[in-house]
Chain A
């Protein structure tokens, strides 16, 4: 924490107290100065504190912190801290741009009446923040996972179904016929003949000569 209150007129420090984050508003105490206020905070990326830098999980070097839609842009230190200096009193919007993560923008109110009193809240969830520690709401997967090749997907496809049906017709239908009672079979065939239902052979030209 000491690293961010180094400069002489730093005014707002968000004390770490993770367990109090259920309380919806936050108070940070700091000293005032004529030079404007400063907003300091920290971005937490998964794997940043645990693993060495450069691990695929948290690469702080590719993260940008943007104030008020591009008015100021800053980057993260190796420990995830960032700060904006020379801010006017009023409300500000902080956004974190990190590929692979979704961060909610944060509303930061810098009070003019009580110098240095700073409030922060996530605009997406309307959750107040006790300290300006920004965590990603979710990870983002930019690519749809290609379904691995499987026999089932082949079978399920329309063509697979067509083939399946065809196989059933070709191989199972004769079997069904075989299992039939010969008497019944004959009767059925006679019926068929009398009705004149064309057989498959009749449908194919050239094969129908009898």
Chain B
């Protein structure tokens, strides 16, 4: 019923551990701040740790334990290799920012203790690998030197530290690694200045660029002398115009320069001359150098050729020789190769074989060995941006003759297999085949719609620009699509998914599709990109590069004759653009022209504005689908006392069953239900930092409920001594929000419910009979109904990462709040616990209604964790989707891990539970029938006896 999948994210660094006998593993760090040890045979996770959000991993290496450097070079941790237990943790201090470097020198050992060298924050630290003790520290920031490289000199205990002071002074320090003693210090100025990365070509020579980026500077610092040598890129026969950069690499005697969209491999000859060895396009990727058997070096080059990927392993320094050349078929949905790491192994004939770990554009991780993909991991799923759902196809009833024949054969084969299985004659392959058949025909993983609406497709958009469709039954990937990259846009980012077409009444032949909105670049003014993806086939139907931006996307509640939903895109000039661009859409839009309102929240300026459509765009180019807008209202928060930190509105597709709420005193309360309700939370600017940064006296939290059509503030409440972060959820007529109370130093959750007073008089029966009620009056935001609000506040133990509320098909079932806690678990909390009518001593009638006696804190019942003993590491969001069955809601929680389950907040009252005993029911029926017959016979006999008497 529920499934849980573990991911790690896009791999940044990888270190192999294959020397010893036993488990072969690769330790990786990723862009999701995950450190993981993977099984090299199958790609499974041995252990994994998700670091904090700000704890970005800078480097990883193995020295006895796994060593990681993170948090901009300020945290050094060691993890036990077999089980991932943290062994020690060291904090490195420094005053200035500098490039974090981690170096574990070979052969530098003092009684088993090997040394770890870390250059970070302007200092060089030597750390013991046993307990993380800092042995010595050398401050280079005092001499205003920015360290570029730390180099071990020929496996001795001497190290070179090279860096720049300013942009033109070059420094080289020779240091004894054992005690930090400075052996030698040389400095020299280079008039051209340095820029960019350095590439080390040997232990005493490096190459960098001058400030004009047209001259390669070879710096050699051997024999206590620094010598510069300049080589014009044009002298190498290359056009140096455009973006030139040196790529960091660790090849001996060779380095890589990227110019525009191709890469140059340049070699340093024995006469200290530079020569171009090879020129490739920019899609080619080179691995770091790998040292194997007695100082031999090798590196891998990965090139693309059509649908294939060519992997060549070359010995160091010799470009024309190949150790291994393999070509593997690659799914084009994986995109380009982004990174490659290589490792060697001994074949049975004592020759060296190589395996390559490849990171692709879609963030997937592949292990390639002997020309085959041994395993792959879809790690894009660790970075989900947005989720939506799609229905599966309806089961087709008509079947063709060919299909029947085919299926008859299959059916016979299947039954033969099953027979074999029951007679214990099946071979392992047959068993596997039986398993596969069972899985295929099993109810939960079928590819068709089911009666209860449990089977759905979860369409997820990931940071890798890849869209996946996951089957809700077992979580498998049904299809995946890497979004097409157009020439016009270099670095597109995807933002959101919208349901574009969901045919259910008309246009049943059309497949449903989703709209993917992205933009070309990072800023919100960048032009938008739209893609339309068919959710059954996973094909990109269409894609547009727009001329305008998309600051806000609004799905409208109207669809055209093919059930395409109308969408409005607001650009940064506050113009709106209508999609789809059809005349039908425009005619629908014209009819509703005056009924379209929306709001915008400018959190930086502290303004909330309401907008309406004004007229067609007046431009040189006549665009029928572009409209000017006007500002209807605006709420300006005083910048010096209030800062917007959260704005939450109701889910557009939420269903409310009834407006009336009958209380225990046979009284009726009318919920104020408006789709145009916005919850806004502001805090004191001083208290907008982390917890504890502000005094309780200068911190406050103000919450507002705003009608987004008129801008009317329906409710305002101030919590003194409270601060964010605020997580809120708005549903029906209530809002629940979570914040921090500085006075009590605990988290709190508040609930506010809004009731419509103007309908309160309707309970008079006489009025109802006489028809003098206003129940049929249309609900409009322009009428200003009298409203009352009720609030209550409770303590809540944990920090919260996400809050959601269950949603069901008809809104009859009671609601549960789904709270993603700091421990990456999802807690289901009954809404009844957050009811402002709770009191300390509820009356008997109230108890019958289900009101729980008031307590100061919300209970955390371990059994109500929907994730049970699983963790959704790095939890970011929770999505709830109603099933067709009213009692049930589908829950999908995502972060680095994925978790899916079905929930029934009021138990499954409309279907039998899974542990319902059908056997017992049958038994009872059979027994009852038998009893009827027995009694019948008995009574007949008896009657006969009576008659004879």
Chain A interface residues (CB < 8 Å from chain B): 3, 6-7, 9, 35, 53-54, 60-61, 64, 66, 68-78, 83, 85-86, 88, 90-93, 95, 97-100, 102, 104-105, 107, 123-124, 140-144, 146, 154, 157, 159, 162-163, 166, 170, 174, 199-201, 204, 207, 210
Would you list the 10 A-B pairs with minimal beta carbon distance, nearest first?
A73-B52, A97-B823, A140-B862, A69-B799, A91-B692, A61-B85, A201-B939, A142-B868, A85-B91, A75-B86
Are B86 and A141 within 8 A (Cβ)?
A: no
Contacts of B84 in A (CB 8 A): 61
Contact of B90 among A7, A64, A91, A99 (CB under 8 A): A7
Question: Considering the chains assembled together, what is the distance between the CA atoms of A74 and B824 in angstroms?
Answer: 15
Taken together as a complex, chains A and B put the C-alpha atoms of A54 and B47 apart, in Å, by 13
Contacts of B779 in A (CB 8 A): none
B823 pairs with A99, CB closer than 8 A: yes
Flag if B691 contacts A78 (CB, 8 Å): no
Cα distance, A69 to B796, chains bound together (Å): 13
Assembly CA distance A94 to B538 (angstroms): 45
Known contacts A83-B89, A200-B939, A201-B940; can you find 6 more A-B pairs with CB under 8 A?
A6-B131, A61-B83, A68-B692, A69-B822, A70-B801, A201-B939
Interface footprint category on B: 35 or more
With A68-B691, A159-B920, A163-B924 already in contact, the answer to whether A144 and B797 are too (CB < 8 A) is: no
Q: Which stretch (B107-115, B188-196, B928-936) binds chain A?
A: B928-936
Residues of the B chain whose Cβ atoms lie less than 8 Å from the Cβ of A204: 932, 936, 939
Give A105 to B692 CA distance when docked, in angstroms.
14
B939 touches A90 (CB 8 A): no
Q: List 14 A-B contacts (CB under 8 A).
A: A3-B131, A9-B93, A71-B54, A78-B86, A93-B692, A93-B745, A97-B821, A105-B747, A144-B863, A159-B924, A166-B927, A200-B936, A201-B936, A201-B943
Question: Is the beta-carbon distance between A77 and B86 smaller than 8 angstroms?
Answer: yes
In the complex, whether B715 has a CB less than 8 A from a CB of chain A is no
CB distance from B803 to the nearest CB of A (A): 14
Q: Residues of B contacting A92 with CB < 8 Å?
A: 691-692
Question: Nearest-CB distance from A166 to chain B (Å)?
Answer: 6
How far in angstroms is the closest Cβ of chain B from A25?
14
Chain A residues whose C-beta falls within 8 Å of the C-beta of B133 in the assembled complex: 6
Q: Which of B134, B746, B934 makes the CB contact (< 8 A) with A123?
A: B746
CA distance A98 to B825 in the complex (A): 10
In the bound complex, do residue A90 and residue B868 qualify as a contact, i.e. CB atoms below 8 Å apart?
no
Residues of B within 8 A of A (CB): 47, 49, 51-55, 74, 77, 80, 83-91, 93, 131, 133-134, 690-693, 725, 740, 742, 744-747, 797-799, 801, 821-825, 857, 860, 862-863, 865, 868-869, 871, 915, 920-921, 924, 927-928, 931-932, 934-936, 938-940, 942-943, 947
When the two chains form their complex, are residues B88 and A77 in contact, meaning their CB atoms are under 8 A apart?
A: yes
CB closest chain-B residue, reference A99: B869
Q: Is the CB of B83 within 8 A of A90?
A: no
- Say yes or no: A68 contacts B131, CB within 8 Å: no
Interface centre among A53, A77, A98, A146 (most CB of B within 10 A): A77
A77: contacting residue among B89, B691, B746, CB under 8 A: B89
Write out the residue numbers on chain A whose beta carbons fall within 8 Å of the beta carbon of B692.
68, 90-93
Q: Which residue of B lies closest to A69 (CB)?
A: B799
CA distance A83 to B77 in the complex (A): 12
Q: What is the minimal beta-carbon distance from B86 to any residue of chain A, in angstroms?
A: 4
**Chain A residue contacts of B87, Cβ below 8 A:** 77-78
Q: Are A102 and B860 touching (Cβ within 8 A)? A: yes
- A91 to chain B: which residues have CB within 8 Å? 691-692, 742, 745
B49 near A75 (CB under 8 angstroms)?
Answer: yes
Query: Is A71 in contact with B940, judged by CB distance below 8 angstroms?
Result: no
Docked CA distance A142–B866 (Å): 9
Do B921 and A159 touch across chains, with their CB atoms under 8 A apart? yes
Q: Given contacts A78-B87, A92-B692, A123-B746, is CB(A166)–CB(B869) below 8 Å?
A: no
A143 touches B131 (CB 8 A): no
A93-B691, A97-B822, A105-B798 known; A142-B86 Cβ under 8 A: no
Given known A70-B53, A86-B91, A105-B746, contact A95–B869 (CB-CB < 8 A): no
Task: Verify A170–B53 contact, CB threshold 8 A.
Answer: no
Q: CB-CB < 8 A to A157: which residues of B?
A: 920
Residues of A within 8 A of B931 (CB): 166, 170
Task: Give the docked Cα–Cα distance between A210 and B868 (Å).
Answer: 66
Q: Is B936 within 8 A of A72, CB to CB? A: no
- CB of B22 to closest CB in A, whole Å: 17
> How many angstroms between the C-alpha atoms of A207 and B938 in the bound complex?
11
- Contact check, B745 vs A68: say whether CB atoms are below 8 A apart: no
Q: Are A107 and B93 in contact (CB under 8 A)?
A: no
* Closest residue on chain A to residue B134 by CB atoms: A7
Complex contacts, B932 vs chain A, CB 8 Å: 204
Whether A210 contacts B943 by the Cβ 8 Å rule is yes
Using A141-B862, A143-B868, A170-B934 as known contacts, say yes or no to A162 and B924 having CB atoms under 8 A apart: yes
CB of A98 within 8 A of CB of B823, answer yes
Given A97-B824, A141-B862, A143-B868, A72–B943 Cβ distance below 8 Å?
A: no
Point out the residues of chain A lying under 8 angstroms from B823, CB to CB.
64, 95, 97-99
Residues of A within 8 Å of B915, CB to CB, are 146
Cβ A163 vs Cβ B868 within 8 A: no
Hey, which chain B residues are within 8 Å of A142, CB to CB?
Answer: 862-863, 865, 868-869
A85, A142, A154, most chain B CB atoms within 10 A: A142
Most B CB atoms within 10 A — which of A64, A100, A104?
Answer: A64
Q: How far is the CA of A118 from the CA of B857 in the complex (A)?
A: 27
* Complex contact B51–A73 (CB within 8 A): yes
Q: Residue B863 contacts which of A76, A104, A143, A210 (CB distance < 8 angstroms)?
A: A143
Bound-complex Cα distance A68 to B690 (A): 7
Task: Say yes or no: A61 contacts B863, CB within 8 Å.
Answer: no
A97 to B, closest residue via Cβ: B823
Which residue in A35, A102, A159, A170 is a CB contact (below 8 Å) of B935? Answer: A170
Please, how many angstroms separate the alpha-carbon atoms of A92 and B862 in the complex? 26
Residues in B with CB closer than 8 Å to A144 are: 863
CB-based nearest A residue for B33: A73
Pairwise interchain contact A72-B54, C-beta atoms closer than 8 A: yes
Max chain B Cβ within 10 angstroms of own Cβ: one of A9, A68, A143, A201 = A201
With both chains docked as a complex, state the minimum distance between the C-beta of A201 and any C-beta of chain B, in angstroms: 4
Tell me the complex Cα distance, A95–B796, Å.
13
CB nearest to A98 among chain B residues: B823
Contacts A71-B690, A143-B868; is A102 near B862 (CB within 8 Å)?
yes
B797 touches A105 (CB 8 A): yes
